[in-house]
Amino acid sequence: MPQPGTPGPIELYQSAVDFMQPIIAGVRPDQMDLPTPCTEWNVRQVINHNLKVAECTLSLLSGTGFVNPMEVDDPLPTEGASGAFEATTFAILEAVKSPGAAERFIETPVMSMSTPQLLMQVFGDLMIHKWDLATATGQDTSMDDGLAEICYNLIEPQMEGSRQMGMFGPIVTVPPNASARDKLLGLAGRAP
């Protein structure tokens, strides 16, 4: 149960979207093939992953099927990545704010989870990939410490299984007095 004053899943998701949106919008066409700290993917592929995660989330919420967020080699949408991300995340927020949405359970390919649990998984993904894109493209890599700490606490218990599935590299050791952002990034296999 969240502590009093802790943002709920919808607010956390909205915050992560708000952090990611200007980063996607700030990517220049000549940066699409640059490598990222997410070593398997270049900038275009990380953008596509974030678009596909949003499409997947919306499809799971609406029961219209499954979009594979790991299929990242498609061309970017003709309307532009930023516009597509904004439209899909807006639709997600509308869906999760609808009556009864918080009580729904969703069947994902991995497991059944509640709408709030699904949003929290996407929140974690957005927080880490925002940093990947910002780092690769020379944009603002800062992260709100409170959100970084929430994200760390969310993904830390799942990290070993995620590493075994090849989703994250080995832990990068950071100093004990490192910022919440740097602890999160180290946990996610990124060198802050």
- The residue extents of the domains of the chain are 9-141, 143-192
For the domain spanning 9-141, the CATH number is 1.20.120.450
pLDDT tens, position by position, 123-137: 999 999 999 999 999
pLDDT, averaged across the chain: 92
Helix 43-62 and helix 9-26: axis angle, to 10°? 150
Q: What are phi and psi of 38, to 5 degrees?
A: -80, 85
Consecutive 10-residue runs of the chain (192 residues): their mean pLDDT?
72 97 97 95 97 96 90 93 97 95 88 94 96 98 96 89 76 94 94 92
